[in-house]
Amino acid sequence: MAMLFRGYEIILQGRDPRDAIDISSRACGVCGGVHSSVSSQALDMAFGVQTPPMGVTVRNLGAGAEMLYDHPIHLGLLAGPDYSTALVSVTNPEIVRKAENTSAPHAHVHGYKTIKDIMDAMDPLTGAIYLEAIEFTRLGRARCATTCSASTRTRRRWCRVA
């Protein structure tokens, strides 16, 4: 429904190439870290420099931290409610009835006996998965804030060391 043009490609033209790290990450608020780490990889290629082994490690840590925060956001907050009982019972009640009688695989791992239980847990604002996802994004974000900034800037830190 919503369509958007911001012209970041035009803004990036003729700039200090290092600005790409920060500007391209503003393309998306959910996955921004990936945009900046890829920008810094592109800069590596453009300048013909090699990331030192520890730099690669730090970048990997950053990517891992982002995944830790990104997946709960997507699964719990953005996409999860679409599959919750609260919404599906309005749009497709027959699916909810079917879910009631379908047992969930690996129930001994996660504790939800039927698919309906999982759908209940994804209800916005009341479901257990939803609330836990919000809490986990906070933890993941704390991790991101400390690692991602380091990972996109490894090259600079390593200038001093190497």
Partner 1 sequence: MDGRDPFAAVGMRSKVVELPQANNAMRLGPLEKIYLIWMVGGSCDGCTIAVTGATNPRVEHLLAGIVPGLPKLELIHTVTSVESGPEWVHNLFMAERGELDAPFVVTWEGSMFDETRSGDGYFMGLGEDPETGRTITSAEWMRRLAPKAAAVIAIGTCATWGGIPAAEGNPTGSMAVMDYLGKDYRSAFGVPVVNVPGCSPIGDNYMETAAAVLLFLQGLAPLPEFDELGRPAWLFGETVHRHCPKRRLLRRRRLRRVLRGQGVLGRARLLGARGPVQHRRARHPQRDGWLHADGGHLHRVHDAGLPRQVLAYSAPPGSFISSRHTSRNGRVHPQDAHRHNGGQEPERPLGRQRGPIGLGAQHAAEGCSEAPPQGLPRLPALQDRALSSCSPVA
Cα distance between residue 113 and residue 148, in whole Å: 38
Angle, CA 20 vertex, CA 79 and CA 152 arms, to 5°:
70
| Residue 161 interacts with which of partner 1, ligand SF4, none, CB < 5 to 8 Å by class | none
Cα distance between residue 26 and residue 81, in whole Å: 26
Site string (114-133) toward partner 1, x via CB under 8 A: ---------xxxx----x--
Is residue 44 within 8 A of residue 51, CB to CB? The reply is yes
- The distance of closest approach from Cβ of residue 35 to ligand SF4 in the complex, given in angstroms and rounded to an integer, is 11
Is residue 80 within 8 A of residue 122, CB to CB? The reply is yes
Token pair for 18 = 């290092």
| Residue 113 interacts with which of ligand SF4, partner 1, none, CB < 5 to 8 Å by class | none
| Residue 8 interacts with which of partner 1, ligand SF4, none, CB < 5 to 8 Å by class | partner 1
Query: Which sign does the torsion angle of CA 85, 31, 132, 57 carry?
Result: positive
- The distance of closest approach from Cβ of residue 134 to partner 1 in the complex, given in angstroms and rounded to an integer, is 6
> Which residues contact partner 1 (rule: CB under 8 A)?
1-8, 10-11, 13-19, 21-23, 25-30, 32-33, 36, 46-50, 66, 69, 73, 77-78, 81, 86-87, 90-91, 93, 123-126, 131, 134, 137-139, 141-142, 144-146, 148-149, 153, 155-156, 158-160, 162
